[in-house]
Amino acid sequence: MKPRSAIKTDLFAFDAHRQKIDALGDPLAEIESHIDFAALAAEVDRVAPRPVSAQGGRPPYPTETMVRILVVKRLYNLSDEQMEYQLLDRMSYKRFCGLANATNVPDRTTVWTFENRIGEAGAKALFDGVSAQLLQKGFIARGGQIIDATLVPAPKQHNRRGEKELIEQGAMPASWRPAKRRQKDLDATWTKKHGKSHFGYKLSINADKKYKIIRRLETDTASTHDSQHFDNVFDTRNTSRDVYADRGYPSEQREAWLKENGFRNRIQRKGKRNKPLSECQQRRNKRIAKTRARVEHVFGAIEQMGGKLLRTIGQERANFAMTMMAACYNLKRLVYFRKAGIEAF
């Protein structure tokens, strides 16, 4: 007697699986229902127009398809190789990218080439495009601004002492072959935080207190001090005059500028050698910390998108990746607001 099995075969199994995914709640379907990807693609084509080949050749994939692929890649922190595999393997990815019935999907080289073509300007266009859609829904910057920075790690470089000296002088070791040179990140830098060494880059952001949306951003290497990005990420459009930041940002010149321009200084104080903070200053820092900590929720959400580790080489591509981090975070934030029925006011 043939043993019974719960496995059943059906020519329409694919449709049944797709319906089950919809019933369980496909997060990519939710993103698609609330984000205008055609508008985002138009912004990318505006700042990075497609090159026109007079000789013809294979037609390119639509920009909207490639933008969707970049969003999936960043949301789940996938490599180009993994992105190609998942597009072939995962039903939800193919459907989201408009490739459910396509006989061919973009390979790893196509994804890599598209990223290089649009570059940092294209990533910034995506960030601005998502920000514009947030503003259209009424989610303007409210409640005050919070400025902070996070370290974005990159694969550590293991160089000999002599090689390090040459690199610091702007030279390249003669023993490195071209293939090895392409795998060496000479732009990322080391820094120390809480007694631990970190190698990579830095992402500085300005998030508003009300909605925890990234309003402005700045990218750099890890060794750059957080306070150097303060002016570049400062947002004058916030409806509140409160400015929050941690103990890495205070200075007499900055406090004077904030007061002169009518902003309320909510930057935490920092003790000095032989001059510790008073009890009053400590209480002030504690009050500020309750609000300033909201920016850590932003960095935590970015960390949940597959982690912050970069797989790129060089600062230009690192800037692209970090800008995409911020754009995809804001994108998910907008989807959350729409799904939860949160209206701007």
Extents of the domains making up the chain: 13-50+57-124, 142-340
More confident residue, 212 or 171: 212
The predicted pLDDT at position 121 comes to 95
pLDDT tens-digit map of 126-145: 999 999 999 999 999 999 99
Question: What are the tens digits of pLDDT across the range 226-243?
Answer: 999 999 999 999 999 999
Q: Kindly give the pairing relationship between strand 264-267 and strand 214-221.
A: unpaired
What tokens were used for 270? 């920092």
111 exposure class (CB count in 10 Å sphere: 0-12, 13-18, 19+): buried
Q: List pLDDT tens digits, range 22-35.
A: 788 788 999 999 99
d(CA 58, CA 72): 25
Average pLDDT, the chain: 90
pLDDT in tens, 39-59: 999 999 999 998 776 666 778
Distances (CA, A) of 239 to 80, 139, 145, 235: 41, 11, 9, 10
Contact 43, 125 (CB under 8 A): yes
Query: What secondary structure does DSSP assign to 210-254, as a single string?
Result: TT--EEEEEEEETTS-GGGGHHHH--TT-SS-EEEE-TTS--HHH
* Cβ pair 145, 198 in contact under 8 A: no
